[in-house]
Chains A and B, each alone.
Chain A
Amino acid sequence: MEKKLSEMNYEEEGRVGSIEQDLKNKVAGMGIRVGKNLKMITKHPLSGPIVVEVDGAHTSLALSIADRITVEVKK
């Protein structure tokens, strides 16, 4: 099932499906690219940033950025 990265639940894992074009280079340096496996670690309250695990490392993203990335979630 495909959903926005910002909509993933805790501990949920998935593979990056698409990233909005103008965002691609921005997040690539943080290890987030199409086809990468992600795991949701934390979502901060009050529309705060989310933390995902990618390649064994944690990285945080603004919610507004996570809104523009889609993930194919593993069941």
Chain B
Amino acid sequence: MKKILLMGNPNVGKSVFFNRLTGANVIESNYPGTTVDYTKGYMKGNSEDFEIIDVPGTFSLEAKDKAEEVAVKMLEEEKGALIICVIDASKIERGLYLCLEIIEKGYSVVMALNMWDVAEDKNVQIDIEKLKNILNIPVVPTVAISGKGFKEVVLSLKKAASVEVKEIMEKVGEIK
């Protein structure tokens, strides 16, 4: 069974995401560090089933504490896994940092710009088409607590592919 890892900064909604995808009921609370160990669940896709792993939040792949160590270790152990990189759209820069680190390691990534509603409230504007174009991975705006964007996330899983960082750098260069 294909594995999917949910990765992202602490407190971006990975566990809410996990519950939505698997129908499980993992504890969610609105402060960082709620998930210090991982949780596994299963999801039925259109053509295949997936094992989904809710990974503790981490700011980077250089672990600073126990929860981050778990996250980094899990990523290393699951070389062939798909990654859904969950980002708090209202704090997009930090999320992109981690996401780029994961892409750099060669994983196939789908980016979920979660808390899209919060970003809109804060008047944070994100050009999704441009992001998709630069990163060459699926980028989907989501609101995990209401379920917005989930269908698209699941549908875009088969479009996830590993991308060379060099290619991304070249595109970023063009923008400048």
28 pairs from A and B in contact (CB 8 Å cutoff): A25-B62, A26-B60, A26-B62, A26-B64, A28-B60, A28-B97, A29-B9, A29-B58, A29-B59, A29-B60, A29-B62, A29-B94, A29-B97, A29-B98, A30-B59, A31-B91, A31-B93, A31-B97, A55-B91, A55-B93, A55-B94, A56-B90, A56-B91, A56-B122, A56-B124, A57-B90, A57-B93, A59-B94
Tally chain B residues at the interface, Cβ within 8 Å. Answer: 15
Q: A interface vs B, CB < 8 Å?
A: 25-26, 28-31, 55-57, 59
Output the nearest chain A residue to B68 by Cβ-Cβ distance: A29
In the bound assembly, the distance between CA atoms of A64 and B58 in angstroms comes to: 21
List of A residues within 8 angstroms of B90 by Cβ: 56-57
B102 → chain A closest CB, angstroms = 12
User: A31-B93, A57-B88 known; 5 other A-B pairs, CB under 8 Å?
Assistant: A26-B62, A29-B60, A56-B90, A56-B122, A56-B124
